[in-house]
Amino acid sequence: MSKVFTPGQIYDPIPLPDRRQFSDQEMIERSARFYDGIRKRHTIREFSDTPVPRSVIENCLKAAGTAPSGANHQPWHFCVVQNPALKTQIREAAEEEERAFYGGKAAQEWLDALAPLGTDTDKPFLEIAPWLIVVFAERFGRLENGDSYKNYYVNESVGIATGFLINALHDAGLATLTHTPNPMKFLNEVCGRPDNEKAFLILVTGHPAEDAVIPSKSQLKKELEEMASFL
């Protein structure tokens, strides 16, 4: 049976574990340190082929798995690709979709929005970076007997877990790129994933190349008063 869903389970509370309590000053200092670290995260497209230990990726994936989710169903699967042949297969299929996208499939407004970011149909990072993490969203779950069960807030849950993963990889000293070829159905076949899962995105990760750059536009962030309201 599924560990996260068992028919007939009842509410079984336990005392809050791992309780943490800091003074107001400690909270201010810790939150400031976190912001100072996460603001140094940058999305890049030029990766080094320098190897990254598998244990680093495993630890970051375990961190992602602690994310909250609808009904605690944890509707995600992370397919981690290191095999060069599979990475080539993913690149070829992704670039085919991208050529259709840039060749007339995308609205001009969308292309105009992407122009300052310097994206195009060529995706060498899909082969160069040591790891590709293909994130799948589990549209519904399956029990060992073949019965299915409903998952809730799937996209929201998977998005939060992906955010945890990006943060963990950054904290480990790695760079990331979220890549979303459209459509992504080919990823189920390449990764051998079942039809109850839908590809959410490809998270490219590794060390930045020596010549890595970022678009100047990416440095433009909303000020606090633009993105938050205190009522």
C-alpha span between 98 and 28 (Å, rounded): 44
- The stretch 144-162 carries a mean pLDDT of 96
C-alpha span between 178 and 184 (Å, rounded): 13
Is the predicted pLDDT of residue 1 greater than 70, yes or no? no
- The stretch 154-168 carries a mean pLDDT of 98
Which stretches of the chain are DSSP H helices? 24-38, 54-64, 84-100, 108-114, 125-128, 154-171, 186-191, 224-227
Is the predicted pLDDT of residue 131 greater than 70, yes or no? yes
- The stretch 140-151 carries a mean pLDDT of 92
CB 196: neighbour CB atoms within 10 A? 16
Instruction: Using DSSP, state whether 110 is helix, strand or coil.
Output: helix
CB 167 within 8 A of CB 106: no
CB 198 within 8 A of CB 212: no
Is the predicted pLDDT of residue 96 greater than 70, yes or no? yes
CB 152 within 8 A of CB 137: no
More confident residue, 124 or 9: 124
**Domain-by-domain residue ranges, the chain?**
44-215
From the list 78, 73, 200, 65, the residue with the least C-alpha distance to 149 is: 73
Kindly state the tokens that stand for 223.
């000020």
CB 228: neighbour CB atoms within 10 A? 8
From the list 35, 74, 71, the residue with the least C-alpha distance to 160 is: 74
pLDDT for 106: 84
pLDDT for 2: 74
pLDDT for 52: 98
pLDDT for 3: 78
- The stretch 159-185 carries a mean pLDDT of 97
pLDDT tens digits, residue range 14-56? 999 999 999 999 999 999 999 999 999 999 999 999 999 999 9
Is the CATH number 3.40.109.10 carried by domain 44-215?
A: yes
Average pLDDT of the chain is 95
pLDDT tens digits, residue range 178-228? 999 989 999 999 999 999 999 999 999 999 999 999 999 999 999 999 999
